[in-house]
Structure formats: C-alpha cells, structure tokens
Structure 1
Amino acid sequence: MILQEAFTLANGVSIPKLGLGTWRVPDADAARTVRDAIKIGYRHIDTAQAYENERGVGEGLRASGVPRDQLFVTTKLAAECKTYAEATQLIDRSLRTLGLAHIDLMLVHSPQPWAEFREGEHFFEGNLEAWRALEHAYEAGKLRAIGVSNFEREDLDNLIDNGSVAPMVNQILAHVGNTPFDLIDYARSKGILVEAYSPVAHGALLNNEDVVGLAEKYGVGVAQLGIRYCLQLGLLPLPKTSNAEHMKTNAALDFLISDADMEALRKTSGATDYGAASAFPVFAKKRQIDNAGQED
C-alpha cells in the first residue's frame, strides 16, 4: 500500500511517498481535513505559511491520536522572506503556530517573492540569507530536513555552491502534460528528491480525452492515473483535497502503468487550462491575485 511506502532523503530521513496537500484549505477546515487524512492512513501532511492554515493543521495532527514520530509535516517559508533575521523569526513562528517541537521538512516557498515570480530576478543573496536560517534551524534540531520549492537549476546551484547543506527536496509543479524532465533529472543528479504538487493539474487532466481514455483502460480514475504517473517517475506527489472519499481514492494505487503508456503520458503536450488556478503565479507568468503567496 502506497501510504506505507517511503523515500529516503539525502540525510537519511524517511519521507512517506504520498502526501496530502492543503493549499486553499481554510484554517477552520484544516483540522478536520488532516484528522480525516490521518485516519485513512496518510502520514505526510504538506502546508505553508502562505496557506494561513498551520494552526488548523497542527490541531488536526494532535487530534489524530497518532504518535508524532509517525507523522511527517512539511511547511514552507514565505516567498517574500529574503533576510536571515526574518526567516529565523518565521521558522519559530511556524513551530509555535503548528504547536510542534520540530518540523520534519521546511522549504523556501519560491526563489522570488510572488509579486515578482519568474520576472528575471533570482534573488540569489536573499535566498542564501533565508537558506542560512534554515540551515541553522536544521543544525539546532528544529527541522529534520530542509529544501526548496519552485526552484530552477540556477536557483538550486546558488544554494549548492554557496550553502553548507544542499537542498534535500525541490517541490515543483509536475503532472501529465507539464513535466519538467530536465529539472527533475538535474535535481536527482544532485541527490535532491523532487515532489510534485498539483499532480492532477487542478482537475485539468479530467478534460484531456487521451488521459481519460487511458484511465478507463486501467479501470481507475484520472486522478489515480495522474498520481501513479508521478510515482513511476520517482516523484513524490502531493494531491490536494479536503474530501475524505477522494483521499481514499487518491491512495488506491495498486496498479502499474505499462512502459508504453508511460511513454505516451511523458509525451503528452498541449496547453493546460488550470481554471481558477490560472490566476496564480506558478500557473501564469504574471501575478493576478490579491492574496499573496497562495500557491500549490
């Protein structure tokens, strides 16, 4: 069962192969969502400072009754934070808000602040400042592992070449029809595990007739096919849902996609209509939203 399987990070820490994303889950609903997921068998929960639901996530973790050492919790440093002092403060704030003695994995959410996402500036110095704060929190035992999100090759190299600890994870947008193979291969060559957020493309895969047909061939749902695709690429998928039945279905992955069908999925291309999510920086080149940092 996939919920019982794990990857091993470069520092030897075990991380469950399937996680639950919590983007756009309101804080008031987060405790129930997390509690439901853990009851189903999930042990990996992904949140972020930008999601403004760390309090609820922490409440759900405690209410689950599952021992803390059996749970893996990820959060992310706000994308706008590019100084050592602020990053140090925000790390401690996440610990307090989550109500945890330690966080299993903390990521720099983006190399650029959301208002300047992918506009040319890489903020190398600011990212090193934030990274040093993560390194020190890691060395102090506050964080069991550290990594990044939405980082491109040059952003990774900046930390690898100038930091004292290399990133252990890069969490990126990856799904059928939008899989950055070069970046994935490069990260892997550096010992970095790649996590895939939006593995179902915010439901956009449901509108792809080829993907729908292939899912029918295997007798599974499109979401299951998209998640299995990521797993067979060696990625760690983070499907987001607050629906308990969908959580169960997303984890029902006891099938394998054939090599031929994987190759067909790898070659799937074409514009992806992300619907309402198209307004967010990782899905569009220009920022069009008012609520800063809401991504995943």
Structure 2
Amino acid sequence: MTQAYILTLSCPDRRGLVHAVSGFLLEQGANIEEAAQYNDNATGLFFMRVQFACDSQDMQTLKAATAEMAEPFQMQWSLHARSEAMKTVIMVSKEGHCLNDLLFRWKSGLLPVDIRAIISNHREFYQLAASYNIPFHYIPVTAATKAQAEARQMEIIEAEGAELVVLARYMQVLSDNLCQKLSGRAINIHHSFLPSFKGAKPYYQAHDRGVKLIGATAHYVTAHLDEGPIIEQDVARADHTDTVEDLTARGRDTESQVLARAVKWHSEHRVILNGTKTVVFR
C-alpha cells in the first residue's frame, strides 16, 4: 500500500542539497508530490519540505535511511506520515471565539488535528466541549496555585501524547519552565499586530493610540511574553469612530482566522523554526 510522508529539514546551505534529497528519495522508490525550499542568505541556512509517496518502505526503515542521508549535511530533520492527524490540546479562558472556530473546522475536516482535550481556568466551555465529545479539564489558576496548576496541565498534555498545544485566548502567562517544556509545539494567538501592543488589553492600547489598523498574531510560545517566532498575522481596518468594543468585536474574526491558519500550517508540517523567525511553506 502506498503511503504519503512529509520530510522537513534544515541545515547549513551548500551546493547539491536538493540533488541529495531528491536522489535519496528516488533510491527509496519514492515519488515526490510536493516540494518547497528556501535559502536564508542572512543565516546561511537551507530549509526544505518534501511530501512524497512511497510503497516500498515502512516508517522505521525510512527514518533509519533518512538519518544516514542527513548526517553528512548536519541536517535537523523530521519525518511524518501525512495520514496521521496531529494530537492537540487546546487551552482557553473566558473568550471562546477561537476555540469555537477551531472545533468547527476540526469537525468539518478542515484541520488535520486530533483534538484530545480542552483545558481551561474557567468553567464556561464545558458544555461546548461535551457537544464535541472532548474531555474538558477545569484547572483554576491563582498566584498561589500556579505551579500545581501547570503541573496538572502538563500531566494532561503528556497523557494525551499532544504534539501541539493551542492557546486559544488562554489569558494566563505561562511560567518559564512550562514554556521550555512546550518549546516549538505551543501556539498562542495574540489580539494585536505584534510587535505592537504586547501584554494585556491590546485593543485598549490600540484605541488610545488611534490606530487605523488592528491585527492578530499567531506565534510560538516562549518565555519572553508575546515575543515568540511569528507564524501568521492579519489586520482589519479601524477608524476614529470605533470604540474599544467595536475593535474587540471586529478583531475576533481576525484572531480566529489567523489562529486557524497557523494551526493548519503547523499540523501540516509547513512551519520550520529559523531562530527568532519561522519559515512557512504555504
């Protein structure tokens, strides 16, 4: 049976890398279905994503062969079966528009994820979770209980085998320790066009400055608040007649769309970290 795989890689740039990868796949009896590459002249790094079909190898055999091919080029690589939906845990607080949007897209077959659990520091969305037959975990967080709460959150994430954690308007700052544990696999949606208006109440900050564009930013979570590598952004128009409530309401659609695109691209293995930036093969 023919299986589809996705290979992503990065390494120091040099001549012959595309030839090496395509030649390797030919040796494995693979047929390349989609390929994209990027040479970052500023860092001297090469990035590549290849989707291919192969009927002569299993995953373990392919991984062993890929490791042998990658070693001389100092490649950092990953190999995934295209058919495997990415196990995902969603975290949310009181604003449910992004959560609702992700659940609908997932149920409609528009996101290649497997949503295993929803974690919240409020009870508001337990019925929504139940309507999708998804376990809902209520974990209140205070300054005094933050460490214990995060330990419990991590237990759930590990028990579900989550490869992706989505902060869908989860309005708690994660500790440095949890950020480290979730490095490269936690996506946050911030309701501002970063780097503008970091932190709390960005719509209020935007209104105070009289901006003509409001935005949303999906980025990877790091220990530095709202400074993680950006995956996707978008904007909506604003004018002098808009109230904070107007900006907030208009921004919800932008937030939902931006987060959904980021989750889709990440779960399709189209995003590769490039230091403080990302390479996104759309």
Q: Do the structures match in fold with TM over 0.5?
A: no
Question: More helix by proportion, 1 or 2?
Answer: 1
> Quick one: higher RCO (CA 8 Å, sep 6+), 1 or 2?
1
Answer with 1 or 2: which has the greater Rg: 2
TM, length-normalised to structure 2 = 0.31
TM-score norm. by structure 1 comes to 0.30
